[in-house]
Structure 1
Amino acid sequence: MAKEQGRKLIAQNRRARHDWSVLDTYETGIVLTGTEVKSLRQGKASLVDGFATVDRGEVWLRNVHIPEYTEGTWTNHEPRRSRKLLLHKDEIIRLIGKIQESGLSLIPLSLYFSDGKAKVELALAKGKKAHDKRQDLAKKDAQREIERAMGRARKGKW
């Protein structure tokens, strides 16, 4: 059987970049059971309410929904169980320092397979206020208008 190559996206948290300002990202491994991997291979997962915590020197992914495997038996997993994330010890120590000193949060951005192994893109993020969200939307609208005007100018429809 041929080995998987490249990156296959399973789930993405699109609201994360809207609700949080991302300061840094980490690629982490994740500890899964067999039926969780099979369910992920079917492309089913939800990161919407997910977050990560650091407990006793270990990073845990919480509240991420991986539905039960349909062909699973009594060995099926619990859909919203806590899952351990795999990071280097020095990265965990750095994360603990940043989280404690400045009140930042760990948010999962995406869940994917990289060369056959399940990975989570974890973001060190700070929550946005309502006015920050409005400013981001205004910037996006302005950029869209600039691109439209440039497109019209290129086509000679000025």
Structure 2
Amino acid sequence: MILTVLLGAAFTVFAIPSAAQADPIIDIVCVGVEEATFDPGLRLFEQDVDITSHIDYEECVSATIDSGTTDSGGEDIPLSCLSILFSSSGTWEIVWNTTDTSTFEFDYTVSQSGGQTIMTLIGTITAGEFTGSDAVMTLTGGSITQNCLFAPGVTENTSAVSLTISH
């Protein structure tokens, strides 16, 4: 009888509650505008396109940073209006109004929903201010497929930007 109770106790599974996940601590939240240009303009056929982008983080909420910018460009990518929806990775440098910088390494996807083009970047701050923190950026702009039929095609696009960096 004692052996049966001991064996039964040995095979009893105990439920141990998992450690509660703490909500992330927000380092900074920014909203702003991105101006992207495409040269030559996006058309229905694929061609090498130089993409440049300027982002103004117009309003930021943090202890010391009020705003910032990101500039990228010189990327020749084989692209068309029909192939704009894709996934890839990249690195951008954010320059804050304090002159500090953050290097944002990310994976991104471009999708369309409800007549809008949405680019979602998810990654990590790998250098500078907020090193080691997670970052999520969303760029939401109008549909770019409307002007693809005729020259010069889509030569620019404006998007609303939101950025959250947390750890």
Scaled by the length of structure 2, the TM-score of the pair is: 0.25
Higher strand proportion (structure 1 or 2): 2
Which one has a larger percent helix, Structure 1 or Structure 2? 1
Higher relative contact order (CA 8 A, sep 6+): 1
Larger radius of gyration: 2
TM-score, length basis structure 1: 0.26
